[in-house]
């Protein structure tokens, strides 16, 4: 019985991010509009299409147990501070289920960027890649720009601030 359950879980995981719904759409490809889902942030507020409209987005998938994510998120936090007052939003997507543990981790490491645990709908909208950290950029017009796997250098993360002023294609 346990083996069958484990096999079913592994098969579902291998099927990709759309396994939970036959009607799930594929993630946006670069240049395509993102079907932005409504997600709940750790503070209980909602973030969805209305909050994303007209803003460039840097979305970072990460985990509290990932040492690469910890270093990467130090740079992401600097980007978040630099983006204050700009047309750029940084959103962290923790891969954990325990909100209290993520809140503690964020507080311990000084993360003030918004964080959600709703990684499933965001992965479905943005990228099927399972690597962490994973940085996804969306332009102010709501189109996917890049999916960047792995840890980035500080200068590369801070260069993403330019997205706030990048002209929107129509």
- Return all residues near 35 (Cβ < 8 A) that are at least 6 apart: 25, 28, 125
| The predicted structure's pLDDT at residue 157 | 98
Digit-coded pLDDT (tens) for 62-96:
999 999 999 999 999 999 999 999 999 999 999 99
pTM of the model: 0.84
Domains of the chain: 27-164 (3.40.30.10)
Helix and strand element counts for the chain (H, E): 6, 7
Separation CA 93–CA 60 (nearest Å): 6
**149 — phi, psi (to 5°)?**
-80, 145
| The predicted structure's pLDDT at residue 170 | 58
- Return all residues near 127 (Cβ < 8 A) that are at least 6 apart: 27, 61, 134, 136, 147
Digit-coded pLDDT (tens) for 89-99:
999 999 999 99
Contact 44, 127 (CB under 8 A): no
Separation CA 80–CA 88 (nearest Å): 8
């Amino acid at each position: 019985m346990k083996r069958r359950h484990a096999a079913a879980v592994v098969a579902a995981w291998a099927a990709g991010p759309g396994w939970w719904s036959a009607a799930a759409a594929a993630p946006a490809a670069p240049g395509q509009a993102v079907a932005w889902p409504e997600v709940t942030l750790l503070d209980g507020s909602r973030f969805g299409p209305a909050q994303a409209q007209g803003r460039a987005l840097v979305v970072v998938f990460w985990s509290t147990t990932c040492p690469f994510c910890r270093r990467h998120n130090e740079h992401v936090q600097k980007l978040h501070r630099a983006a204050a007052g700009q047309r750029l939003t940084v959103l962290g997507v923790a891969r954990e289920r325990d909100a209290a543990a993520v809140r503690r981790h964020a507080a311990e490491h000084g993360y003030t960027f918004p964080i959600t645990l709703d990684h499933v709908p965001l992965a479905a909208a943005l990228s099927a890649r399972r690597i962490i950290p994973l940085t996804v950029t969306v332009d102010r017009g709501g189109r996917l720009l890049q999916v960047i796997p792995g840890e980035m250098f500080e200068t590369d993360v801070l260069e993403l601030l330019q997205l706030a002023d990048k002209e929107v294609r129509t």
